[in-house]
Amino acid sequence: MPGRSSHDFLRAGWLVRAGDDAAAAPLLQALVDEARGMPPGLMAEGWLLHGELLRRRGEDGTRSAARALELAERFADDGAVWLRRRARAEDLAGRPDAALPLLLRCHARQMASVRAALDARVDELAARLVDLHLRDENRQLRAHNQGLQDDVRQYSRLAETDALTGLPNRRALEAEFEARRGPGPLVLAVLDLDHFKRINDRFSHLVGDAVLRQAGALMAASLRAPDLLARLGGEEFVALAALPPDEAAGAFERVRRSLAEHAWGEIAEGLQVTVSIGVTAVSAGEDLIAALARADALLYRAKHEGRDRVVHDAG
């Protein structure tokens, strides 16, 4: 690759992490354009930096992630550097579940290396400075362990978060449902945006994505702080609220109005968004599938009766 070296990648990586997109973009584009003949590790790093830059600019970085993963499958060994590159590529491709075990394996390799270095160091200096150096190495090991725990917590959060809306996803809903079901009052609601396919068809999928993000934010803001709103998939959301049944209808009527009264024309002229909601009381010990099925049936009634309404058990 004439005129290019590892120093270019170091500079590009520094610019990306420093947030200097204007300077990083042309350098990274040149690097990936001239990638033929470059060492596989540098090629993969270039595609990863390119994809991360695109994602921060709100563009699609999955093609760059795919190129990095292709290189990993062809050339990667099982060392920490390639494991971390594969984890970054999976995360960039929107698969945090796949990134987490790779990151754990990477840290396992690094931990093994740290432990081996620690043992050798202790043996070398045991006669003179054992206590002093053990304390120092132990501090480093604790710091490394803390970094690992922070990474695990971060990827666990990503695995329970919907990438588009930032709301909890189905995995988080299932965990929260298990934690909340018990003797206290609990209601579950299924919320479905009305005529969402028409919105995508008429205004574009970009507008559809903006509607999902805005609708999720409005509905979450209309619920109380302890309540949970999760995106189940597509235009369907699920809420859990610790409310007695006689208060649930009013609470979710406020959620319905938050969408019906919002100024959607700010996203696209002529756009209007409403939501239909089915609300059911959860019995003590009831499982999530049964509660969802009952709320789905109530949602179907809301759709059948004209949409933009709340239907609940007592209704």
- 291 backbone dihedrals φ, ψ, rounded to 5°: -65, -40
Residue 43's H or E segment, with its range, is: helix 40-56
24 CB neighbour count, 10 Å cutoff: 23
174 is catalytic: no
- Sign of torsion, CA 71 75 81 84? positive
Residue 201's H or E segment, with its range, is: helix 196-203
Task: Give me the half-sphere count of Cα atoms (radius 13 Å) on the Cβ side of residue 104.
Answer: 11
- Sign of torsion, CA 286 292 293 294? positive
C-alpha span between 205 and 87 (Å, rounded)? 29
C-alpha span between 212 and 230 (Å, rounded)? 12
Of the candidates 235, 266, 269, 305, the residue annotated as catalytic is 235
C-alpha span between 225 and 165 (Å, rounded)? 18
Tokens of 93: 């491709």
C-alpha span between 16 and 8 (Å, rounded)? 12
Tokens of 276: 């239909």
Residues with catalytic roles? 235
